Structure 1
């Protein structure tokens, strides 16, 4: 009985440490006046995600690209109106480029992560 309690305590401590280490950064992308694109240079630590919010109108065209020196930065895009990933930028896609017409008016989440190790990246978002 004592061993089970110790194991449960260790499991709790271990999962608490993991959830503290996995951090999410949320940032709003704002375009400069008169511009339709924005470039973000940043880095993400292994296991973490950077989340960017960008607002757009239904049927606007959007292009998102990501580049990294080690070719290990990828993104996903979620339509916050529907809660669904955009085709080609879902959880299993590991997108490096996405282009298409937006299905809803409102915010979109661009979630950046690394496929291996830490990732320095340049994210470009264009909305027309």
Structure 2
């Protein structure tokens, strides 16, 4: 009887954890530069464990600069083509007041993931931000 109750309790916790993870929303946004320009700025917002992933096409050898402004909880990671957040190491990262700039190792679509750290995500804080991209 005690083993059955412990099993049910464990199963309920596992189901709750899976449901909480499945509810994290990832919004995908393509980045397009206006004709004749090499930069773009976009506004966004998310809360809790949600995140936003920007897809930006660039060529090997170009330099990408990413800046984020707004809520101090806004952070970002930059992933090379074919690499995904949670499955690969970011080639760069930054936050409000800490821009990132670097040469790009290969051609393709780069993913820039915008998120907040666990402490503020746990409190479901809202994070409005403006993110800027420049490719040279």
Structure 2 residue runs without a partner (length 5+): none
Structure 1 residue runs without a partner (length 5+): none
Secondary structure of 2:35's partner?
coil
What RMSD over aligned residues (CA atoms) do the two structures have, in Å? 1.9
Alpha-carbon distance between aligned partners in 2 of 1:100 and 1:15, rounded to the nearest angstrom: 37
Q: C-alpha deviations, 1:27-60, integer Å up to 9, x for none? A: 1111111111111101111111111111100011
Alpha-carbon distance between aligned partners in 2 of 1:106 and 1:34, rounded to the nearest angstrom: 20
The reply on whether 1:42 has 2:44 as its aligned counterpart is yes
Alpha-carbon distance between aligned partners in 1 of 2:89 and 2:6, rounded to the nearest angstrom: 41
TM (norm. structure 2) is 0.80
Q: Would you say the 8 A contact 1:63–1:100 is kept in 2? A: yes
Q: Would you say the 8 A contact 1:81–1:105 is kept in 2? A: no
Counterpart pick for 1:56 among 52, 55, 58: 58
TM (norm. structure 1) is 0.84
Pairs aligned (count) = 123
